[in-house]
Structure 1
Amino acid sequence: MDQFIEQLNQWGKDSILQYGLVDTIVIIVLILLTAVIISKLLTRLMIRQNFRNLPIWLKLKKYVMIIITIYSILTLFIPAKTILSPLLASGGIVAVVIGLAAQETVGNLISGFMIITFRPFHIGDLIRVNNGEYVGTVVEITVRHTIIETFENTRVIVPNSQMNTSVLENISDISTAKADFLYVSVAYDTDLEKAIRVLQDVIAAHPDYVDPRSEEEKQQNKEKVIVRVTDFKDSGIELRATIYSNDNSTCFTMLSDLRIAVKKRFDQEGIEMPYPKQDIYIKESIKKEDPQ
């Protein structure tokens, strides 16, 4: 039996196989087992470390493991090794040729890895690209492109090379409340102190309003809602109230609610909200009588 195994092991050695047939089979099994074990360990590590964009990393890990496994097995065969060695030796030239032929694609892939690694934004973040060229929520990040869902419910596919060179404002990446402004105009004969007080009461009563004051400012009885007189318009005096909320979408809805509530409260308090209007006076012409 031992002699048969030895003869079988000598089959193909030094002609097709780098090692004997039996040795080659054993090595292939060990390579596959090692690849499976390493793959599972890496998957557990990524999940335990709570990797951002986990599906992309898992896919990348899968491709890398497949390439390494196939290469390791092919090197056991002399013809394959003979072909692979010159290819690896000329890898620099091949890389230059491929880089020139697929410069844009490679650029997108590299930019994708940069975005995944340095994480300037994440899935679910609200971002503004190039001062408003694209504004929306990040719904998908791949190694080639980033998909942004706009407020118009459309999806914009932006190449990662462009995302990597663009000016990005991550609106979601903040540790404090989101601030916005509510503008209201009142007539010139309005009691401004009363109008400001009513405006503050309406805003502070909204359930989504976030109190921006620190504990020290609360002890000092500073105003919960800041209202300023910002301009003298043609029709009235402009007031600006600063609105704080947890996020952009909440603030948008809250501003709509507040406009309705302010209008109703001003009507109850007799505070006039002016609008452009014109009074036209018609001057009667007096026809002079003819002296003749």
Structure 2
Amino acid sequence: MTDFWNTNKQIIIYAIIVVAVVLVLRFLTKKFHDWLERRWRQKHIGEEPSTINLTQKILNALWIVLGFMALAFIFIAKEQYEVATQNFYLVLYLGIVAVITLVVASLVQTWFKRSIKEKIKDEQDPTSYKFLRYLAIFSVYFIGAILAILAFPSLRGIAQTALGGAGVLAVVAGVASQEALANLVGGIFIISFKPFKIGDIIKVDSTMVGTVTDITLRHTVIRNYENKMIVIPNSVINKEKLINYDLGERMCCEWIEIGISYGSDIDLAKHIMREECEDHPNLMDHRSELDKYNNKKKVIVRVIRLEDSAVTLRAWAWSASFTDAFVLKCDVLESIKKRFDKEGIEIPFPHRTLVLKKEQLESLVLKN
């Protein structure tokens, strides 16, 4: 036993030191994690410190991997020490880059989240901050990935090219036709020129109407009135002609169209439509002072089409917003239908005339 100790004394001491260092590093990581977690929970009540937990897991895994790599020096030949040392420092470098990248991304995320809350609290538009948050976090991870690539000699040329000014231009020119870059540029245009912002009600087409909830680097998210989330790529929405009900004046004019039969009283039908619209609480008086002086009606009703079996009437009703206008239209259509039934105004439905040949008519008679 004594001979074994004397022969392997240095190796045993080295192994004990490596294990002890790993345990100490894990212990310090645990203490530091607990301290950060307590501070986080004090400042962010009800939120889980996911970044802090992930950082702890990465560090603990890093200490174990480095410990095994350090112990591996016991079993390899001295000629391999140089390569093993390079690998050791490579893993250490990658671990440090990963941790720093994660921490910086978390700090950026926290700062933007706080700024967005302050903007919302002050009733200011947070759209730019929400978009820049995605851009900043993407940049942090991009730089972290480049720094990690620099550790590999075979890939170092790619990283240096991407970080250089000419390299950036080359990358941009190379992928300019790709959809990813088109979406990114589209998002930047949306934030810069502000055709809409978060919280606006927009209509892209008849199936995509709702409130803008988010604008990311890739897409815009709209919550429709069925509470469904519609995800539209920025490159697509940038090309579309859309209606923004909250851009500029929010007042909205709703067209209420109803067809009546040719035998119905047009004047009475127009009077009923006007009355029902004016009685609705969502109706707004859009008349100018001159219109009021000239006794112009609040709601204009006109004949707009003479169709095959109906005379189409349209009422122009104004409301404070798109939502109020939609409610007004639904309520007024119902109340007008009930009034028409009471007053004898007929709403025509399609008629179809069938012409039967003599033989067909005789066969039907025989069957019956």
What are the equivalent positions in structure 2 for 1:24-103 lying under 5 Å apart?
Answer: 50-53=124-127, 54-58=129-133, 60=135, 90-93=164-167, 95-97=169-171, 100=174, 103=178
Cα pair 2:301 2:316 within 8 Å, conserved:
yes
Residue 189 of structure 2 corresponds to 114
Report how far residue 88 of structure 1 moved.
8.5
User: CA offset at residue 255 of structure 1?
Assistant: 1.8
Aligned to 2:81: none
Quickly say closer, same or farther: Cα 1:208–1:267, change in 2 above 3 A: same
Q: 231, 246, 268: which is aligned to 2:342?
A: 268
Instruction: Give the C-alpha shift of residue 65 in structure 1.
Output: 8.6
| Distance in 1, Cα, partners of 2:185 & 2:287 | 44
Sequence identity, in percent?
34
Shift of 1:172: 2.8
SS of the counterpart of 2:297?
A: coil
Contact 2:213-2:221 within 8 A present in 1 as well: yes
Q: Counterpart in 1 of 2:303?
A: 229
Q: How does 1:1-292 map to 2 (within 5 A)?
A: 50-53=124-127, 54-58=129-133, 60=135, 90-93=164-167, 95-97=169-171, 100=174, 103-129=178-204, 132=206, 134-175=208-249, 177-277=251-351
Q: What is the rounded CA distance, in whole Å, between the counterparts of 1:57 and 1:87 in structure 2?
A: 25
Alpha-carbon distance change, 89 to 109 in structure 1, aligned in 2, over 3 angstroms: closer
Deviations 1:131-178 (A, max 9, x none): 557443322101221112344543332222333333333233241521
The answer (yes or no) to whether the contact 1:177–1:247 under 8 Å persists in 2 is yes
Q: Look up the equivalent residue of 1:123 and give its one-letter code.
A: I
What amino acid maps onto 2:343 in structure 1? E
**Equivalences, count:** 236
Q: Report the Cα distance in structure 2 between the residues aligned to 1:106 and 1:233, rounded to whole angstroms.
A: 50
SS in 1 for 2:184: helix
2: CA distance between counterparts of 1:279 and 1:219?
51
Q: Give the 3 Å change call, closer, same or farther, for CA 155–271 of structure 1 in structure 2.
A: same
Cα contact 1:99–1:106 (8 A) shared by 2: no
Partner SS state of residue 284, structure 2: coil
Relative to structure 1, the CA distance from residue 56 to residue 277 in structure 2 (aligned partners, 3 Å threshold; closer, same or farther) is closer
Unaligned runs of 5+ in 2: 1-106, 144-156, 355-368
Q: Calculate the aligned-residue CA RMSD, in Å.
A: 4.3
| Alignment partners' CA distance in 2, 1:224 and 1:266 | 21
**What's the TM-score, normalizing by structure 2?**
0.51
Q: Which amino acid in structure 2 is aligned with residue 183 of structure 1? A: E
Cα distance in 2 for residues equivalent to 1:265 and 1:113: 52
CA distance, structure 2, for counterparts of residue 137 and residue 274 of structure 1: 37
SS at match of 1:198: helix
Give ranges in structure 1 of 5+ residues lacking alignment: 1-35, 69-82, 281-292
- Post-superposition offset of 1:122: 0.9
How many Å separate the matches in 1 of 2:276 and 2:214? Answer: 39
CA-CA distance at 1:128 after TM superposition: 3.0
Q: Secondary structure at the match of 1:230?
A: strand
Partner Cα separation in structure 1 for residue 351 and residue 200 of structure 2: 44
Contact 1:137 1:149 in 2 (8 A): yes
Question: Greater helix percent: which structure?
Answer: 2
